[in-house]
Amino acid sequence: MARTARSGRRARSRILKFTLGAMALCVVATIAYAGYVTWQVGHEFSGRRWDLPAQVYATPLELYAGRALAADDLVSELKRLGYREDPRLARPGTYRVALQRVEVSTRGFDFAGDTEPPQLISLGFASGKIATLRGVDGADAAIARLDPLLIGSLFPAHGEDRLIVAPAETPPLLPAALIAIEDRRFADHHGVDLRAMLRAAFVNLSAGEIKQGASTLTQQLVRSYFLSNERSWTRKLHEAFMAVALELCYDKPDLMQAYINEIYLGQDGDRAVHGFGLASQFYFGRPLAELDLHELALLVAVVRGPTYYDPRRHPERALARRNLVLQEMADAKLVSAADAEKAEKRKLDLLSTSRRSATQSAFLSLVRRQLAMDYPMKELERAGLRVLTTFDPGVQAAAERALTTGIAALGANAKELDGAVVVTSPHTGEVNAIVGGRSGDGFNRALDARRPIGSLIKPAIYLTALESGRYTLASVIDDSPIDVKLDNGDVWSPHDYDGEPRGEVPLIRALAESLNLATVRLGLDVGLEPIAKSLGRLGLAQKPKLYPSMLLGALALTPLEVAQIYNTLANGGFRVPLRAVRDVLGEDGQVLQRYSMQIEQAADPAAVYALNHALVQVMERGTGRTARAQLPAGLTVAGKTGTSDDLRDSWFAGFTNEHLAVAWIGYDDDRPTGLTGATGAAKIWVRVVGGLEAGSYRAPAPDSLETVWVDYLTGEPSAARCDDAVALPLPAADARPHRLLQGCAGESFGARLRHLFRSDAP
Amino acid sequence: MRLPSLRSLRVVRRMARVTATRALVLALLATLAACSTLEGAQRPKEPSRPNGAGSSGSTGAPAPGGGGGAPAQPESPPPSVAAPARPPGATSGATQALLAQSRAARAAGNYAQANATIERALRIAPSDASLWVELGEIELATGNAAQAATLARKALTLASPNDSVAITDAQKLLRAAGGR
């Protein structure tokens, strides 16, 4: 080299030295870079675990003979869980329907030792109930459970959500199809596929546009895991280096499984759907292992462009690409041509969006709040927890239906009217359903809309009166105009809703008809402070301001807070903090925490029994009468209407034996609705209860009370035969005069005597 | 004349080689170090479903919270001995089956499982007084007397007057829990 030069050797030698030095530096830099990349890949890929948002499960459906559940209800529950009709019951997750009979191959589950094996069960139905439950051997089985519905996950704000699948849970066809479609030489290359790159370059150059990509699966994995989606040469280079580095340290099956769990496959609002495990649930509502060929092919098709080939937004595009995938799978001999052809004829078979209840997010936010007290948000969003909740999909569906159809039935002016529903199981304090509004607009009215509760406060006043021992349900109070002098010198003159004071009335009537004037008198007599204390005992966390207007419900509460108060009443005076979460399981499947029931006696059971008796009368004779008529005649329910000033809020809270439901409707901007509790929320409530398996509210009478007949209008002792006679539980001492020979109001002594000798005498 | 340049070339080459070798060694070391951490690298987690089944139940080991010191025998108060004698109340076959499961778990000292199972039964038959007594007995066995007493009181409000067995059991539980 140096031979051509004769002069300036020094200079040349300097240039040579410089060049060689630079080359050496380049080599060093490259090697250092390669080392750094390898280190980065190794460090990050092993050090960083996927952020696994907590997965939240509903309560599993219990199946047993005698349960009120129609065959149709079971089938819709099975569909919700992604079970498929299959006459052969070939695998778990299938069912078949015959006349009055449903046979199910259940999936089974195991949550920290709470095990339900996968099994074949056969259910016979009669008159809306499960009549028989048999196992595969034909013998009667006592009880079986379906696997719990996955209702969502607590994904973080940046919105990446995934459901990890293990190789055992992955159909072998999936990796094979990914290789056939995305990266044919995956098994042979070392991270980058130079041949494919050249071919792609040639195709793209001759076509004048980008028609073909040449990214290997490894490169795609690198891009998704480490890099942003910007397109530049330096990034491409970096990506290639990282892919090679990744291949150095990992074997192919590991990379494939990482790819299957990492890759982006769709968007659900804020939530980015990553990995085939979650995508399978998101698009089909079923575990990955249960997908049919045409469904698996669709997921593989979506990989190329989850937005462009979004099967819900662009079904034709997605279908065309899916069929292309199927053809290529047949070409690669992964499936037979006949199977591929059959699969091409199938529809997309997507989970309909209506079944993915948007309003489930209302329940999820309650779950989040309950867990946030014990777990840092980071852990919930990352640590792969599993949360078993009290959510009941059937109850939720009934509550959602009740709110939407109920508001629609209120007429044309109800367009912007919105509402909320909370349903609990009063004995256990479990929250079964939360509806935060008609649409999933993100505003959770059940938890966040704090509105004046109106007459919903009255039971707390009457309970305080009954507990004081100075009042019974038959005690008479005065429903006549009253002026209350306030501390600031103003005078408060409340009035009844229909304006007509009733005069002297018994407590039972004042509560049933929600009389304001009588209630204000009663409340002032028992005292604001004791009433506030009662509210606290019933479960109200905040301390209400002690203004007389509190007596008519100036107090503003959320539907959930109201549910807590009424839950204590429905539970016979036993306070159980409402809970949405039963168990939290760690990533290893072991129980981290159980939220078992905490129970406290909050009120005198006898007083609560009498109060609930009056709440039944609300439904039989009082403000809930019209609504109650929509329910089956034999069903005993208890409840209370509530209306705020100027008819801005319409409330109803009430219970059967199994459920407590609170309904609220109103406008978000607080303008008057023109509806009372009775004409608005009560109609929603009735639809909720009508849609549930409701059993009559019942409680055995406490020993200390005696049930006697009382005249509903006056509170005077009465005979059972009289028109306005109502049976009331009174403390034994107060019941004594009622035991004497009684007649009806305005009846002569002679008439009473005559009745005594008739067969219908009490 | 050429020698110096040759020599310098060789020197440069040697230098380069040494540097390269060193860099290579370093890079290899780095790579190895990087790779070594990959041993326990992110593998898709095993499905946690089928595992951990027997570990919390059925081993017969006393459950945590079951007893402070006594290892063999869970220090259970009298009610749990008396409990299995109680005849079925007005509950269905399903709640009876769960009751039996709960008692088996309790006998094995697995109170968490016993508790969870009886809560399942209570979801099915929330008005069954005898199930509330059962739950109260489990609470008492795990040292939660206040809960047990409250549960006994709740059972008493639910027991119909002719269900003398449930009433007697509830009163017994109430006394055992120190609530009158």
> Cα–Cα–Cα angle for A649, A520, A464, nearest 5°?
95
Determine whether the interchain pair A572/B30 forms a contact, defined as Cβ–Cβ distance below 8 Å.
no
Determine whether the interchain pair A143/B112 forms a contact, defined as Cβ–Cβ distance below 8 Å.
no
Q: What residues of A are annotated to the active site?
A: 182, 455
Contacts of A512 (CB under 8 A, 6+ apart): A614, A617, A618, A620, A621, A622, A623
Q: Which residue has the higher pLDDT, A574 or A165?
A: A574
Q: Are B99 and B137 in contact (CB under 8 A)?
A: no
Q: Which residue has the higher pLDDT, B45 or A161?
A: A161
- What is the predicted pLDDT for the residue at B175? 95
Residue closest to A81 by CA, chosen among A129, A125, A146, A144 = A146
What type of residue sits at position A674? G
Q: Are A391 and A430 in contact (CB under 8 A)?
A: no
Q: What percent of chain B has pLDDT over 90?
A: 44
Q: Are B102 and B134 in contact (CB under 8 A)?
A: yes
Determine whether the interchain pair B26/A32 forms a contact, defined as Cβ–Cβ distance below 8 Å.
yes
Token digits for B165?
């067995």
The mean pLDDT of A729-757, rounded to a whole number, is: 76
Indicate the length of chain A as a whole number. 762
As a whole number of Å, the end-to-end CA separation of chain A is 130
Determine whether the interchain pair B35/A248 forms a contact, defined as Cβ–Cβ distance below 8 Å.
yes
Q: Which residue has the tokens 């403390």?
A: A731
- What is the predicted pLDDT for the residue at A230? 61
DSSP string, B131-172: HHHHHHHHHHHTT-HHHHHHHHHHHHHHS-TT-HHHHHHHHH
Determine whether the interchain pair A143/B98 forms a contact, defined as Cβ–Cβ distance below 8 Å.
yes
Determine whether the interchain pair B126/A658 forms a contact, defined as Cβ–Cβ distance below 8 Å.
yes
Whether pLDDT at B67 is above 50 = no
**pLDDT tens-digit map of A340-391:** 999 999 999 888 765 455 557 889 989 989 998 888 877 887 788 899 999 9
Which residues of B fall within a CB distance of 8 Å from A27?
16, 19-20, 23
Q: Which residue has the higher pLDDT, B104 or A1?
A: B104
- What is the predicted pLDDT for the residue at A357? 54
Q: Which residue has the higher pLDDT, A136 or A476?
A: A476
What residues of chain A, 378 to 397, have a C-beta less than 8 Å from chain B? 384, 386
Q: Are A43 and A125 in contact (CB under 8 A)?
A: no
Q: Which residue has the higher pLDDT, A561 or A253?
A: A561
The partner residue sitting opposite A594, judged by closest CB among B39, B58, B112, is: B112
Report the predicted TM-score, pTM, of the whole model to 2 decimal places: 0.81
Determine whether the interchain pair A698/B123 forms a contact, defined as Cβ–Cβ distance below 8 Å.
no
What residues of chain A, 537 to 576, have a C-beta less than 8 Å from chain B? 572-574
Determine whether the interchain pair B115/A605 forms a contact, defined as Cβ–Cβ distance below 8 Å.
no
Whether pLDDT at B68 is above 50 = no
Contacts of A509 (CB under 8 A, 6+ apart): A502, A515, A622, A712, A713, A715
Phi, psi torsion values for A600, nearest 5 degrees: -140, 145
- What is the predicted pLDDT for the residue at A442? 76
Q: 3-class DSSP state for residue A173?
A: helix
Q: Which residue has the higher pLDDT, B42 or A574?
A: A574
Whether pLDDT at A465 is above 60 = yes
Strand intervals (E) in A263-324 = 264-268, 271-274
Which residues of B fall within a CB distance of 8 Å from A113?
52-58, 113
Query: How far does CA A549 lie from the centroid of its chain?
Result: 36
Which residues of A fall within a CB distance of 8 Å from B33?
39, 42
Q: Are A342 and A423 in contact (CB under 8 A)?
A: no
What residues of chain A, 267 to 326, have a C-beta less than 8 Å from chain B? none
Q: How far apart (Å, rounded) are the C-alpha atoms in residues A381 and A374?
A: 14
Determine whether the interchain pair B24/A31 forms a contact, defined as Cβ–Cβ distance below 8 Å.
yes
Residue of A nearest to B23 (CA): A28
The partner residue sitting opposite B16, judged by closest CB among A20, A583, A657, is: A20
Determine whether the interchain pair B116/A594 forms a contact, defined as Cβ–Cβ distance below 8 Å.
yes
How far apart, in Å, are the Cα atoms of A431 and each of A539, A601, A652?
Answer: 15, 20, 17
Determine whether the interchain pair A28/B23 forms a contact, defined as Cβ–Cβ distance below 8 Å.
yes
CA atoms within 13 A on the CB side of A657: 18
User: A403 pLDDT band (50/70/90 cuts)?
Assistant: very high
How far apart, in Å, are the Cα atoms of B49 and each of A22, A276, A588, A632, B53?
Answer: 58, 18, 9, 43, 8
By mean pLDDT, which of A550-564, A625-639, A735-749 is the weakest?
A735-749
The mean pLDDT of A257-283, rounded to a whole number, is: 88
DSSP string, A255-269: HHHHHHHHSEEEEET
The answer to ipTM > 0.90 is no
Site from A31, A129, A255 to mutate, B interface, most B CB atoms within 10 angstroms: A31
**pLDDT tens-digit map of A694-721:** 789 999 999 899 999 999 999 988 888 8
CB count, 10 Å around CB of A487?
8
Residue of B nearest to A19 (CA): B12
Q: How far apart (Å, rounded) are the C-alpha atoms in residues B160 and A698?
A: 11
Q: Are A727 and A709 in contact (CB under 8 A)?
A: yes
Rounded to the nearest angstrom, the minimum Cα separation between B77 and chain A is 21
- Asked if A655 reaches chain B (Cβ–Cβ under 8 Å), the answer is no
Burial class, A533, CB count within 10 angstroms (exposed 0-12 / middle 13-18 / buried 19+): middle
Rounded to the nearest angstrom, the minimum Cα separation between A282 and chain B is 19
The partner residue sitting opposite B119, judged by closest CB among A24, A167, A428, is: A428
Q: Residue A717's beta-bridge partner residues?
A: A710
Whether pLDDT at A330 is above 70 = yes
The partner residue sitting opposite B42, judged by closest CB among A46, A166, A597, is: A46
DSSP structure class, residue A91: S
By mean pLDDT, which of A297-301, A436-440, B5-9 is the weakest?
B5-9
Contacts of A344 (CB under 8 A, 6+ apart): A294, A322, A323, A326, A327
How far apart, in Å, are the Cα atoms of A305 and each of A47, A181, B77?
Answer: 29, 13, 65
The mean pLDDT of A721-741, rounded to a whole number, is: 85
Burial class, A723, CB count within 10 angstroms (exposed 0-12 / middle 13-18 / buried 19+): exposed
Mean per-residue pLDDT over chain A, rounded: 87
Whether pLDDT at A533 is above 70 = yes
Q: How far apart (Å, rounded) are the C-alpha atoms in residues A608 and A602?
A: 10
> Cα–Cα–Cα angle for A279, A280, A281, nearest 5°?
90
Mutual angle of helices B111-124 and B129-141, in 10-degree steps = 160
- What is the predicted pLDDT for the residue at B123? 94
User: A400 pLDDT band (50/70/90 cuts)?
Assistant: very high
Residue of B nearest to A609 (CA): B157
What type of residue sits at position A17? K
Q: How far apart (Å, rounded) are the C-alpha atoms in residues A273 and B139?
A: 43
DSSP structure class, residue A417: -
CA atoms within 13 A on the CB side of A121: 26
Which residues of A fall within a CB distance of 8 Å from B153?
574, 601, 605
Whether pLDDT at B32 is above 50 = no
Determine whether the interchain pair B94/A65 forms a contact, defined as Cβ–Cβ distance below 8 Å.
yes
Q: What percent of chain A has pLDDT over 70?
A: 93
DSSP alpha helices (H): ranges in A527-602? 528-538, 559-570
Residue of B nearest to A700 (CA): B160
- What is the predicted pLDDT for the residue at A356? 53
- Asked if A26 reaches chain B (Cβ–Cβ under 8 Å), the answer is no
- What is the predicted pLDDT for the residue at B4? 45
User: A413 pLDDT band (50/70/90 cuts)?
Assistant: low
Contacts of A141 (CB under 8 A, 6+ apart): A121, A133, A134, A135
Site from B3, B6, B43 to mutate, A interface, most A CB atoms within 10 angstroms: B43
Whether pLDDT at B50 is above 60 = no
